[in-house]
């Protein structure tokens, strides 16, 4: 497809010409909210790819998922309906990521979000720095930082990481880096192996060590710097010197919100460490699973074999036919963030919209192609690192979801985050509804201006606002999200 066939961006969602895929499938949540801000629409063009489109795009669910990516106001927290559609778009593909999620979800009581996050991480860690990408006159790699945050209840966050490590260990054992180190030993580890996975089943412990122990001094800054893939990093300590070439470490951590709040602070975000992480929150661990199940061993073996192929992929990802498209996706997302405003504390997160869109596109490409071309007998006959539209769409969906999770988490890093959590808890205690004035009187340090700044976030998260006439004036009543 040449560039003349690519449509223009349309910022008016009522004039969407992308056909039935979007016009008929716009999510009600985005169109009915009385406080909707600027809406961003993805390009007016059909999904076209060298390979047949996966079945999901021909289904109503798949069409709705695409509509959510295109039509959602990108800097607003996701409604539950939008969230589910984006998750569906991520794991509906027929590659490694999709098969991984569909294999483990029925046999484990782990939130599907954690399985998606683990599968994406596995691809990133397995390929390391063997597949590169070129963006803005610099070379980068598909390494990512991932954080799984468990909410209330039993979410089995540690188990989700263990499951992925079992697969990765069989497919690419050298991709798993030691997770216990000093700042000096980490330099030596990365000098010998500059890419791989640092995995932490309790991420808050790592944060505490990096902030409070002398032997870990400098680790946080080092990991922050290496995310951006400098060509090389030279070091010297105690008379020893060395070089880390083409560093691309991937980090996967898990924690719960209370522990994260207790072990981190606003500096971790402002300095850029936590804003590099793709945040996944577990919402529902699903129904109980019998202690004895009969998993499909053939499918498990295929996951291992496919990840092994991904670990052997090598070369530069080919964006040549989609440069204009991905640039427009990135530019429109960045423009939306600027137009809608954002918490300056999260500036580091938004500053990486561009590079993360590229990195995630490469990961979804590798999941789809395994990085190789196979003949009918299953023999490798060449490489396949060609990016297609679907890879970029899934990257946008992933980034959209993860950004929304970071935006809406009741972090204690900022006064606004603390106040949001207080207001949510206060309203939740009044299932029959509570008046605006009673909220202002009942929540300490909350004023009219502060509450108004939180209303759109509350509504996007499912809280309900109603209006009635009482005593000659309008009165607003608020309800917790419906069960």
* Same domain for 322 and 193: yes
Three-state secondary structure readout of the chain: CCHHHCCCCCCCHHHCCCCHHHHCCCCHHHHHCCCCCCCCCCCCCCCCCCCCCCHHHHCHHHHHHHHHHHHCCCCCCCCHHHHHHHHHHHHCCCCHHHHHHHHHHHHCCCCHHHHHHHHHHHHHHHHCCCEEEEECCEEECCCCEEEEEECCCCCCHHHHHHHHHHHHHHHCHHHECCCCCCHHHHHHHHHHCCEEEEEECCHHHHHHHHHHCHHHCCHHHHHHHHCCCCCEEEEEECCEEEEEECCEEEEEEEEEHHHHHHHCCHHHHHCCCHHHEEEEEECCCCCCCCCCCCCCHHHHHHHHHHHHHHHHCCEECECCCCHHHHHHHHHHHHHHHHHHCCCHHHHHHHCCHHHHHHHHHHHHHHHHHCCEEECCCCCEEEECCECCHHHHHHHHHHHHHHHHHHHHCCCCCCHHHHHHHHHHHHHHCCCCCEEHHHHHHHCCCCCHHHHHHHHHHHHHCCCEEEEEEECCEEEEEEECCCC
Classify residue 342 as exposed, middle or buried by CB count within 10 Å of its CB (0-12, 13-18, 19+): middle
* Same domain for 327 and 269: yes
Instruction: Give the other-Cβ count within 10 Å of 120's Cβ.
Output: 30
* Same domain for 404 and 425: no
HSE, side-chain direction, 13 A CA sphere, residue 152: 0
Rg (CA), the chain: 23
* Same domain for 427 and 291: no
Give the residue numbers spanning the domain of 449. Answer: 415-479
* Same domain for 290 and 316: yes
Q: Which residues contact 307 (CB under 8 A, 6 or more apart)?
A: 96, 122, 123, 126, 167, 168, 171, 172
Strands in 138-140's sheet, in edge-to-edge order, are: 138-140, 131-135, 315-316
Residue 134 φ/ψ, nearest 5 degrees? -115, 125
* Same domain for 91 and 46: yes
The tens-digit pLDDT sequence of the chain (483 residues) is 343 333 333 323 322 222 222 222 333 333 333 333 332 222 222 222 333 333 333 445 445 555 555 554 454 556 677 777 788 888 877 899 999 999 998 888 888 999 999 999 999 999 999 999 999 999 999 999 999 988 645 556 788 899 999 999 999 999 999 988 888 889 999 999 999 999 998 887 788 777 765 666 688 888 989 999 999 999 888 778 899 999 999 999 998 776 676 555 555 555 568 889 999 987 766 666 766 677 789 999 999 999 999 999 999 999 999 999 899 888 888 888 887 777 777 888 889 999 999 999 999 999 999 998 888 887 888 899 999 988 998 998 899 889 888 876 655 455 666 687 788 889 999 999 999 999 999 998 888 888 887 887 787 677 888 887 766 677 889 998 887
Final residue of a structural domain among 352, 384, 408? 408
Q: pTM for the full model? A: 0.73
* Same domain for 441 and 386: no
Final residue of a structural domain among 353, 377, 408? 408
Q: How many whole angstroms separate alpha carbon 339 and alpha carbon 21?
A: 27
CATH of the domain at 209: 3.40.50
* Same domain for 94 and 197: yes
CATH of the domain at 442: 1.10.10.10
Q: How many whole angstroms separate alpha carbon 89 and alpha carbon 98?
A: 10
Q: Which residues contact 40 (CB under 8 A, 6 or more apart)?
A: 11, 70, 71, 72, 73, 74, 332, 333, 335, 336
* Same domain for 434 and 461: yes
* Same domain for 279 and 140: yes
Final residue of a structural domain among 408, 436, 466? 408
* Same domain for 437 and 342: no
Q: What is the pLDDT of residue 387?
A: 95
Map tokens 């309800």 to a residue. Answer: 479
- How many domains are contained in the chain? 2
Strands in 464-470's sheet, in edge-to-edge order, are: 434-435, 473-479, 464-470
Map tokens 């690192």 to a residue. Answer: 385
* Same domain for 250 and 227: yes
């Amino acid at each position: 497809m040449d560039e003349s066939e690519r449509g223009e961006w349309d910022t008016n969602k009522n004039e969407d010409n992308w056909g039935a895929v979007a016009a008929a499938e716009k999510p009600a949540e985005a169109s009915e909210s009385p406080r909707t801000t600027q809406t961003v629409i993805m390009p007016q063009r059909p999904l076209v790819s060298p390979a047949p489109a996966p079945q999901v795009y021909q289904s109503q669910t798949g069409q709705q998922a695409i509509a959510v990516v295109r039509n959602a106001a990108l800097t607003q927290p996701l409604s539950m309906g939008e969230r589910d559609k984006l998750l569906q778009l991520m794991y509906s593909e027929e590659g490694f990521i999709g098969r991984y999620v569909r294999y483990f979800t029925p046999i484990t009581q782990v939130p599907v979000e954690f399985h998606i996050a683990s599968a994406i991480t596995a691809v990133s860690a397995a390929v390391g720095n063997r597949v590169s990408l070129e963006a803005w006159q610099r070379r980068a790699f598909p390494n990512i930082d991932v954080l799984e945050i468990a909410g209330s209840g039993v979410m089995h966050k540690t188990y989700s990481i263990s499951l992925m490590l079992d697969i990765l260990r069989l497919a690419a054992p050298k991709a798993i880096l030691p997770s216990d180190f000093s700042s000096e030993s980490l330099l030596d580890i990365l000098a010998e192996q500059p890419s791989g996975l640092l995995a932490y089943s309790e991420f808050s412990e790592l944060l505490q060590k990096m902030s409070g122990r002398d032997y870990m001094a400098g680790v946080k800054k080092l990991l922050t710097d290496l995310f951006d893939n400098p060509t090389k990093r030279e070091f010297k300590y105690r008379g020893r010197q060395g070089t880390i070439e083409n560093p691309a470490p991937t980090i996967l951590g898990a924690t719960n919100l209370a522990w994260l709040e207790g072990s981190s602070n606003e500096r971790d975000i402002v300095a850029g460490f936590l804003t590099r992480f793709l945040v996944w929150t577990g919402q529902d661990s699903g129904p109980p699973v019998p202690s004895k199940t009969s998993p499909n061993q053939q499918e498990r073996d295929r996951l291992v074999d496919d990840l092994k192929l991904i670990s052997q992929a090598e070369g530069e990802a080919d964006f040549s036919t989609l440069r204009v498209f991905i640039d427009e996706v990135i530019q429109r997302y960045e423009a939306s963030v600027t137009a809608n405003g954002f918490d300056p504390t999260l500036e580091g997160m938004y500053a990486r919209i561009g590079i993360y869109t590229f990195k995630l596109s490469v990961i979804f490409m590798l999941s789809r192609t395994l990085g190789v071309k196979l003949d009918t007998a299953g023999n490798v006959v060449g490489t396949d690192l060609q990016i297609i539209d679907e890879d970029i769409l899934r990257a946008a969906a992933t980034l959209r979801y993860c950004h929304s999770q970071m935006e809406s988490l009741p972090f204690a890093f900022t006064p606004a985050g603390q106040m949001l959590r207080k207001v949510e808890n206060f309203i939740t205690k009044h299932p029959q509804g509570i008046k605006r004035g009673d909220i202002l009187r009942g929540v300490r340090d909350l004023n009219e201006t502060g509450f108004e700044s939180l209303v759109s976030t509350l509504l996007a998260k499912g809280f309900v606002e109603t209006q009635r006439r009482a005593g000659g004036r309008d009165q607003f009543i608020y309800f917790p999200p419906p069960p």
